[in-house]
Amino acid sequence: MKVYISIDMEGISGIVDWSQVDFRRRPQEYEACRRLMVGDLNAAIEGVLEAGADEVVVADSHGRMSNLPPEEVHEAAVLIRGSPRPWMMMEGIDESFDAALYVGYHSMKGTERGVLCHTISGRVVDAIYINGVEMGEFGLNAALAGCHGVPSIFISGDQAVVEEARRLVPNIRGAAVKWGVSRYAARCLHPAKARRLIREKASEALKALDEFKPFRVDEPVEVRMRFVTSTMADVAALMPYAERVDGRTIRMTFDDYPTAFRGIRTAIAVAYPVEER
Ligand SMILES: [Zn+2]
């Protein structure tokens, strides 16, 4: 069995603040948090190996996408690191995989008790709707796996992201490693306990693979994006396919989901620099 793992940083056990996930702000704290990240990852890898996985591909998917210290990642895994890359947090996903797992994920922007909640870029994106349903990074990425026929079977992060994932994939196995008190505060499981939970649930998920179906969105795909400022919508609305809906919102329709995903990424890249003045 071949397994894909996408790993972010905001949902790793013990992490509650931006300064912990940004090497420029508090280098020593970031250094410690990379170790927490690799701890959660290796627990998930051990879990899937226990359940019969023989190939594991890991996509380091936070920030510049080179957070994991390579020599500390379980040697069973092939590591995809660095950016930019076309499929971002899902780089390398294709039909050859049997399952996709998400480690260290966070909830969509605006979630109550969602630790470090945001959707791709907190500076730029207020909300993204796919066919009328608001989606965070889990949904956007799980739909990409679904295009390749790959089911999404496991997620770890805070309680809020586990609940968000269950709304789209009701039987997804979840490991909640912290409970948000606010966006920047949480009650955290000890990392050793978090890792045990991740290992157990990841293993349980892969053993139950038969009960999962790929998460797919209907095509053609209608994307609505609400930006943080109207200037961002001003420039994003210049893109072919884009249509202005209101001050901060654009709408785009695409024939298939991978193209919609590229449209979302491009709109963010176009909008990102416009408030730097
Ligand atoms: Zn991140």
Give the tens place of pLDDT for each residue, 63-104: 999 999 999 999 999 999 999 999 999 999 999 999 999 999
Residue 225 falls inside a structural domain: yes
Whether residue 127 lies inside any domain: the answer is no
- Annotation marks residue 190 as catalytic: no
Domain identity same for 81 and 200: yes
Give the CATH number, domain containing residue 236: 3.30.1360.130
Tell whether the model's pLDDT for residue 27 goes beyond 80: yes
Residue 137: burial class (beta carbons within 10 Å; 0-12, 13-18, 19+): buried
Give the residue from 211, 229, 246 where a domain finishes: 211
Neighbours of ion ligand 1 (CB under 5 A): 8-10, 62
Q: Which two tokens stand for residue 118?
A: 């945001």
3-state SS class at 232: helix
pLDDT of 277 higher than 90: no
CB crowding 45-63: b at 16 or more within 10 Å, else e: bbbbbebebeebbbbbbbe
Q: Which of 62, 74, 118, 148 is catalytic?
A: 118
Quickly tell me which residue has 């396919």 as its tokens.
241
**50 and 159 share a domain?**
yes
Close Cβ partners of 139 (under 8 Å, ≥ 6 residues apart): 130, 133, 164, 165, 168, 215
When pLDDT is averaged across residues 37-50 and rounded to a whole number, the result is: 98
- 229 in a structural domain: yes
For residues 246 and 116, state if they share a domain: no
Query: 277: burial class by Cβ within 10 Å (0-12, 13-18, 19+)?
Result: exposed
Identify whether residues 183 and 254 lie together within a single domain. no
For residue 205, the surrounding DSSP H or E stretch is helix 191-207
For residues 63 and 159, state if they share a domain. Answer: yes
Task: Show the tokens assigned to 87.
Answer: 């499929």
With DSSP H G I counted as helix, E B as strand and the rest as coil, what are the percentages for the chain, rounded to 5? 35, 25, 40
Q: How many helices (H) and strands (E) does the chain have?
A: 6, 12
DSSP state of 172: -
Please spell the DSSP secondary structure of 1-18, one letter per residue.
Answer: -EEEEEE-STTSTT--SG
Number of domains in the chain: 2
Q: What is the pLDDT of residue 276?
A: 82
Rounded CA gap, 37 and 9, in Å? 6
d(CA 134, CA 245): 16
> Does 10 lie in the same domain as 115?
yes
Distance 5 CA to ligand 1 centre (A): 14
Q: What distance in angstroms lies between residue 62's CA and the mean position of ligand 1's atoms?
A: 4
Note whether 226 and 198 are same-domain residues: no
Cα(225)–Cα(180) distance, rounded to whole angstroms? 26
Centroid of ligand 1 to alpha carbon of 248 (angstroms): 24
Q: Which domain holds residue 236?
A: 221-275
The CATH number covering residue 78 comes to 3.40.50.10780
- Inside any domain, residue 62: yes
Residues 107 and 195 in one domain: yes
Q: Positive or negative, the Cα torsion across 106, 109, 264, 121? A: negative
**231 is a domain residue:** yes
Mean pLDDT, residues 244-268 = 97
- At residue 268, the pLDDT reads 97
Last residue of a domain, one of 171, 189, 211: 211
Instruction: Please give the distance, rounded to the nearest whole angstrom, from the Cα atom of residue 7 to the centre of ligand 1.
Output: 8
Q: What is the mean pLDDT of the chain?
A: 97
Does residue 128 sit within a domain? no
Asked whether residue 85 falls in the same domain as residue 184, the answer is: yes
Whether 142 is covered by a domain: the verdict is: yes
Q: Kindly state the greatest CA–CA separation across the chain.
A: 53
Q: How much distance in Å is there from the Cα of 210 to the middle of ligand 1?
A: 30
Do both 81 and 201 map to the same domain? yes
pLDDT reported for residue 2: 98
Does residue 163 lie within any of the structural domains? yes
Helix axes 27-50, 191-207, angle to 10 degrees: 30
Ligand 1 centre to CA of 237 (Å) is 26
What are the tens digits of pLDDT across the range 125-172? 999 999 999 999 999 999 999 999 999 999 999 999 999 999 999 999
Whether residues 11 and 106 share a domain: the answer is yes
What the block records as the tokens of 52 is 């019969």
> 190-230, pLDDT tens digit by residue?
999 999 999 999 999 999 999 999 999 999 999 999 999 99
68 CA distance to ligand 1 middle (Å): 13
Identify whether the C-beta of residue 1 lies closer than 8 Å to the C-beta of residue 150. Answer: no
Give the Cα separation of 150 and 213 in Å (integer): 8
| Whole-angstrom distance, CA of residue 23 vs CA of residue 130 | 32
Counting residues of the chain whose pLDDT is more than 90, the rounded percentage is: 97
Query: For 111-150, where are the alpha helices, taking DSSP H only?
Result: 137-147
Quick one: 197 and 254 in the same domain?
no
Domain termination site, one of 211, 233, 264: 211
